[in-house]
Amino acid sequence: MASKYPRTNSPFWWIKYKAQEGEYRCVSSGLRRDNVKETRTADKMVEKYQREEQKSAEDPFRNDSAFTDWVPGYLEANYNTPETAKTFEAYGWRWHSVAKFLKATKLTYPRQITYGHAWKYLEWRKAGSSKDGIKAGSHNTAIHEIKFLSMLMTQAVPHGYADGNPLLHPGIQKHKRAMTDEEITRIRTELLRWPEWMQTCFEIAIYTGCRVSDTNMPLRDIDLEAKTITLEKPKGRAERAFTVRMREELVPLLLG
C-alpha cells in the first residue's frame, strides 16, 4: 500500500508506491514536511497512488494490451495488400467470430488465454450463439478460427502481451469426409469444360488419395512399367514421401 515517509537530508515528503509493473518505487512529492497545507496535499497524492494500486489488484491484466487494441491494426498492416487481399478478407471473417467469443467469455487480454479455451471455442462455434450474432459453424470452420487465434497468440508473445502460446498444439483434428459418387461425377462433368491436364490431376488425386496440389509432379515420379506413382513431397515435406500402386484407370490418361 502506498505511503509517505521522510527522507534524511530532504525537506520533502517522499512517497513509496507499487508501480503497474509490480515493482515498488520511491518518488519525491516536492511538498514540504514542515508545511501543514503541503502535507495534506501529499496525503492526497498517497491516496491517489493507493487507488491505482487497488485497480491493479482488481485487474491484473490491465497493463497488457487488449486484443481489440492491436489485432485490427495488425491485420491491416500485414494483409491488406493486393497480393494478400483474399487472406485479409478471410482473416477479417475469422476475427469477427473470434472477437465475439472473446467478448462473450470476458477474455480481454492474450495472457488470459489457456489451452482449454481451444476446446471451449470449438463447442461454442459449433453450437452457434444467437445473442452474439454467430450462426452454428462446422467442425472444420471452428478449427480454422482456432488456428487464427493461435496465430494472434504467436504475435502477442514477442510484444510481451503473453508469456507463451498455449494454442500451438490443441490436439483437435479436422473431420475428413469421403466424396460421394455423385460429387465425383459432378466434378468430372464440370472438368470437361477445362484443360485436359486438370482432368488428369483430378483422377490422380481420386485414385491415390493425395492432394490436388501434389499431383503437379515430374514425369520421373511416374513409372508406367512398374505401374507406380511416387509422391516426393506430400504436403510439401520430403520426409513424408511414399509410393503407391497405379490404378489401371490411370494408365490410359498418363500414356496419352
Residues in Cβ contact with 7 at an 8 Å cutoff, skipping those fewer than 6 apart: 14, 28
Average pLDDT, the chain: 88
**pTM of the shown model:** 0.54
When comparing pLDDT for 22 and 74, which is higher? 74
Query: How many angstroms from the chain centroid is the CA of residue 165?
Result: 9
User: How does DSSP assign 85-113, residue by residue?
Assistant: HHHHHHHHHHHHHHHHHHHHTT--SGGG-
Q: What is the pLDDT of residue 117?
A: 95
Instruction: Indicate the range of 39-43, 46-50, 64-68 predicted with least confidence.
Output: 64-68
For the segment 218-223, the average pLDDT, to the nearest whole number, is 86
- Predicted pLDDT at 176: 72
Pick the range with the lowest mean pLDDT from 44-48, 130-134, 205-209.
205-209
Rounded-to-integer distance, Cα 246 and Cα 229, Å: 6
Q: Pull the grid cell for residue 225.
A: 512399367
What cell was used for 19?
Answer: 508501480
Q: Enter the C-alpha cell of residue 5.
A: 515517509
Q: What is the pLDDT of residue 62?
A: 55
Closest C-alpha to 159, from 110, 124, 221, 125:
110
Q: Which residue has the higher pLDDT, 86 or 247?
A: 86
The winner for highest mean pLDDT among 19-23, 135-139, 206-210, 252-256 is 135-139
| Residue whose entry in the numeric block shows the C-alpha cell 507463451 | 164
Residue range 98-125: mean pLDDT, rounded: 94
Q: Please say if the pLDDT value at position 87 is more than 90.
A: yes
- Provide mean pLDDT across the span 129-155: 94
pLDDT > 70? residue 59: no
Encode pLDDT of 221-240 as tens digits.
888 888 888 888 776 677 77
Per-residue pLDDT of 152-189, as tens digits, reads 999 999 988 888 999 998 888 777 777 888 999 999 99
**pLDDT class for 47, splitting at 50, 70, 90?**
very high
- Local confidence band at 58 (pLDDT 50, 70, 90 cut-offs): low
Q: What is the pLDDT of residue 218?
A: 84
How far apart CA 21 and CA 35 sit, in angstroms, is: 33
Q: Which three cell numbers stand for residue 214?
A: 501434389
Q: 253 and 203 in contact (C-beta within 8 Å)?
A: yes
Q: What's the pLDDT band for 115 if we cut at 50, 70, 90?
A: very high
**Poorest-pLDDT segment among 21-25, 28-32, 81-85, 189-193:** 21-25
Nearest to 254 by CA among 210, 215, 211: 215
Distance in angstroms (rounded) separating the CA atoms of residues 189 and 139: 29
- C-alpha to C-alpha distance for 138 and 42, rounded to whole angstroms: 60
Residue 108 scores a pLDDT above 80: yes
C-alpha cell of residue 29: 512529492
Mean pLDDT score, 136-150: 95
> When comparing pLDDT for 66 and 237, which is higher?
66
